[in-house]
Amino acid sequence: MVWLLGLLALPALALAAGCTRSSQASPQRGTAVVAFVDFSASVGGNDRVAFKREIEKQILPWLQPGDSFLLAPIHDKTLTEFRPLVEGELPPRAQFNGWMNNVIKFNRQAKETDARIVQVKETLQTQTAAALARSSQARYTDIFSSLQLAEKLFSAESRRKVLILMSDMIEDYPPYAFDQMKWTPTTTTKILSDLEAKGGIPDLRGVCIYVSGVSAPTVELANHIGHFWEAYFQKAGADLHPSRYAHVLLHWPPPNSCRPA
C-alpha cells in the first residue's frame, strides 16, 4: 500500500515541479531605443546642447537591463553613409530559479551584471557627449532616409521599439524643401502619394515615436509640417501621439500603450 501511495504521489510531485518551474519570472523583453539627431545647418549648436541634455538626463538613466541604445545622425548622406555615432546594449539580468541556481553564485553574477550595466551607461554618456559636440553641419536634412533606415534597424527586433527624432522636422532634401514650398490642403496627400509610389514609406508598425526639437519660422508652417508628419507616421503604422511631437522631449518614458503591433 505504501508503494502504491508513492506511485500516486509522483504525478502530483511532477505537477508541482512543473508549476514551480513555469511560475519562475520570465525575463523581460527589454526595449530597443534608436535616436536620430539632426546635424543639418537648420539646427544650431544650442539645439544639440538641448538634445544632449535630454539624452543624458532622461533617456540614458531610464534604460533597463536588456535594453539597447543607438544614436545616429540626420544629414545629407543619411542613407548612403550611415554610421551609428553611439551604440551599446545593457546586459540582461538573469532570473533566479530555485531549481537550477546556486544562491551564492547567482548573487555574485548579479553584482557583476549590475556593475557592467553602470559601465555601459557611463560609456554611452561619454560617447554621446563627444558625438554631439561635433561642429559639422550638413547642407541638407534627409529625414525620410533616416526613417527608412529605422525600418531596417527595427526589422528583426523582438523587443519593444522606440524611435526618437531630434530635429526641427523640416525635410530639406531634393525634391522636397518644407520651408520653401507652398503648402495647400492637398500638399500632404500629394507628397505621401509620391513617396508611396517610390517605396518611400517605411514599415514602422509597433514603433513608438518621440519627436523633440520641432521648430519652424512661422506657426502656420509649423502646423502644416506637424500635420504632414502625423499623416506620414499613421501611414507608416507607427505610434505617434500628438503629445510626443514637441519642441522638447515630453512624456518620457514610453507609456505601456507603446507596444509592438
CA 59, CA 253: separation in Å to the nearest integer?
8
**pLDDT band at residue 68, thresholds of 50, 70 and 90?**
very high
Structure confidence by residue, pLDDT tens digits, 206-232: 999 999 999 999 999 999 999 999 999
Model confidence at 80, pLDDT cuts 50, 70, 90, reads confident
Confidence class of residue 12 from pLDDT cuts 50, 70 and 90? very low
Instruction: Determine which of 5-19, 142-156, 176-190, 225-239 has the lowest per-residue pLDDT on average.
Output: 5-19
Whose CA is closest to 249, among 61, 2, 32, 113? 61
Kindly report each contact of residues 47-53 with a partner whose C-beta sits within 8 Å and lies 24 or more positions away, as own/partner. Answer: 47/168, 47/213, 47/215, 48/132, 49/132, 50/212, 50/213, 50/248, 51/132, 51/166, 51/212, 51/213, 52/128, 52/129, 52/132
Q: What is the mean pLDDT of the chain?
A: 85
pLDDT at residue 69, rounded to an integer: 98
Q: What integer pLDDT is reported at residue 252 of this predicted model?
A: 96
**With 0-12 CB in 10 A as exposed, 13-18 as middle and 19+ as buried, what is 208?**
buried
CA torsion, points 169, 170, 172, 175, in degrees to nearest 10? Answer: 100
Alpha-helical segments (H) within the chain: 2-22, 45-54, 60-62, 103-132, 143-154, 187-197, 219-236
Residue 59 lies in a domain: yes
Any domain includes 69? yes
* Domain-embedded: residue 56: yes
The reply to whether 140 falls in a domain is yes
pLDDT for 1: 41
What is the CB neighbour count within 10 angstroms for residue 63?
21
Q: Say which amino acid occupies 181.
A: M
pLDDT of residue 5: 35
pLDDT band at 259 (very low <50, low <70, confident <90, very high): low
Mean pLDDT of 74-100: 81
Q: What is the largest CA-CA distance in the chain?
A: 92
Domain membership of residue 20 (yes or no) is no
Q: Which domain holds residue 49?
A: 31-246
Mean pLDDT of 123-151: 90
pLDDT (average), residues 84-96: 86
Number of domains in the chain: 1
As a whole number, mean pLDDT of residues 171-177 equals 94
- Tell me, what CATH number does 41's domain have? 3.40.50
Answer yes or no: is 25 within a domain.
no
Average pLDDT over residues 22-30: 52
